[in-house]
Amino acid sequence: MLWSAGGGFPSPLRFLLLLLIISIAESAHLKRPFNNSVPAVVVFGDSTVDSGNNNYVKTPFKSNFPPYGKDFVNGVPTGRFTDGRLVTDFMATYVGIKEYVPPYLDPNLTLEDLMTGVCFASAGSGFDPLTAQLSGVISVQRQLEYFKEYKAKLEAAIGKERTKTLISKAAFLISAGTNDIVLNYFATPFRRQTYNITSYQQFLLEHVKQFIQGLREEGAKVIGLVGLPPIGCLPIVITVTSGEAEGERRCNHSLSSIALDYNQKLQKMLEAMQNSSSTIIYYADIYKPLNDIIQRPSRYGFDNVNSGCCGSGLIETTFMCNPASLVCANPSKYLFFDSVHPTQAAYSFLYQALRPTVDRVIKIHDL
């Protein structure tokens, strides 16, 4: 016990102070660039940022088994769809908050976990509500409801004013959209009966806009949107659309051009939203850095950019990449760990590519 019951602080305050001391001890080795005051990282989206929420959802879209996580701490599969850490983990460490962003649905979260940020993302999700329904996962809209629940938990623990301040200073990151186009629009007939690809892009952007507005209404002041990758270069897309198991396995450039077009429209929409609000809204480009690796892999230390490390690397993902799968000797030489998701090495590279944006946002936010 830190203080005696007779003359010390009241019990709830002792508890909060103890948490603070533990937090300081655990994060003492983390440095804060520019002495920033960002208290938390809050994440929404799909498998590119899901740190394990699907572990707690009845869906086949899981990765809480080997070989996923083989390069994570102690080789533990956490539900991250890669061999190790995600971009969001690297960013949280860089900002100086914590080393890993935990999933919100983890029942063992502490108050400190909540106060420093959590992940609401769900693999297989998208901005289109139908996308999550097809996969049996958590829709982006439901993720926003979970965030409101999260806020209520914080308010009960630290009060409304402290929660309001924490949310206003937190960094929000949203990464979704690939599943909407690849798994929903092109892999099923449902949306194509109503939309052409141009009108479907606009449909998605309206949902993006609604989601951002929802976060702003809840007090978010710093929001980052991740654009789409060159989707025609995902190994599973190359396999399905080209039929090439061997050979050059070229990217499907027509599909990648759809992603590029969407990204340009997204940027214009975000610029318009930024101009009409005091909220800091920023666009995070992953298309260019990933495309650069694909065009010149050896320059960035990669040997393979068109198939995954797990299994054949052509179609395996989620339950098809499992403990019985053969795994490449060195995932850091592969751009993709399975046929869809990047390796930890690729996520590390993306984090480095996004660092200038992160630095700029930190500086603006702390003015």
pLDDT given at position 2: 28
Residue pair 270/223 in contact (Cβ under 8 Å)? The answer is no
Residue 330 has pLDDT above 90, yes or no: yes
> Which range among 180-194, 230-244, 285-299 shows the weakest confidence by mean pLDDT?
230-244
Mean pLDDT score of the chain: 91
124/47 Cα distance (integer angstroms): 6
C-alpha atoms less than 13 angstroms from C-alpha of 170 in its C-beta half-sphere: 25
Amino acid code (one letter) for 101:
V
- 171 has which bridge partners? 41
Peptide bond into 39 cis (omega under 30): no
Residue pair 67/310 in contact (Cβ under 8 Å)? The answer is yes
pLDDT given at position 42: 98
Q: How many domains does one find in the chain? A: 1
Query: Structure tokens of 299?
Result: 């320059």
352/145 Cα distance (integer angstroms): 32
pTM here is 0.91
Query: How much of the chain exceeds pLDDT 70, in percent?
Result: 91
Catalytic residue (choose from 338, 339, 348, 365): 338
What are the tens digits of pLDDT across the range 82-139? 999 999 999 999 999 999 999 999 999 999 999 999 999 999 999 999 999 999 999 9
167/364 Cα distance (integer angstroms): 16
Is 338 a catalytic site residue? Answer: yes
Residue 10 domain flag: no
Query: Per-residue pLDDT averaged across 18-46, rounded?
Result: 73
Please report, for the domain that includes residue 156, its CATH number. 3.40.50.1110
Taking CB atoms within 8 Å and a gap of at least 24, the contacts of 239-246 are 239/314, 239/315, 239/339, 240/315, 245/312, 245/314
Catalytic residue (choose from 256, 339, 341, 348): 341
Residue 185 domain flag: yes
Sign of CA dihedral 61, 67, 71, 77: positive
What are the tens digits of pLDDT across the range 312-327? 999 999 999 999 999 9
63/319 Cα distance (integer angstroms): 7
Residue corresponding to tokens 């760990």: 337
Residue 298 has pLDDT above 70, yes or no: yes
What are the tens digits of pLDDT across the range 229-286? 999 999 999 999 987 667 779 999 999 999 999 999 999 999 999 887 789 999 999 9
3-state secondary structure of 363: helix
Query: Per-residue pLDDT averaged across 137-165, rounded?
Result: 98
131/45 Cα distance (integer angstroms): 12
Catalytic residue (choose from 47, 51, 307, 348): 47
13: left (phi over 0), alpha (psi -120 to 50) or beta: alpha
Regarding predicted confidence, which is higher, 17 or 212? 212
53/234 Cα distance (integer angstroms): 23
Residue 311 domain flag: no
Using alpha carbons only, give the angle 64, 65, 66 rounded to the nearest 5 degrees.
Answer: 135
What are the tens digits of pLDDT across the range 213-241? 999 999 999 999 999 999 999 999 999 99
pLDDT given at position 30: 81
18/65 Cα distance (integer angstroms): 35
Residue pair 242/249 in contact (Cβ under 8 Å)? The answer is yes
Residue 28 has pLDDT above 90, yes or no: no
Q: In terms of residue numbers, what domain contains 69? A: 34-291+344-366
Query: Structure tokens of 129?
Result: 């509500």
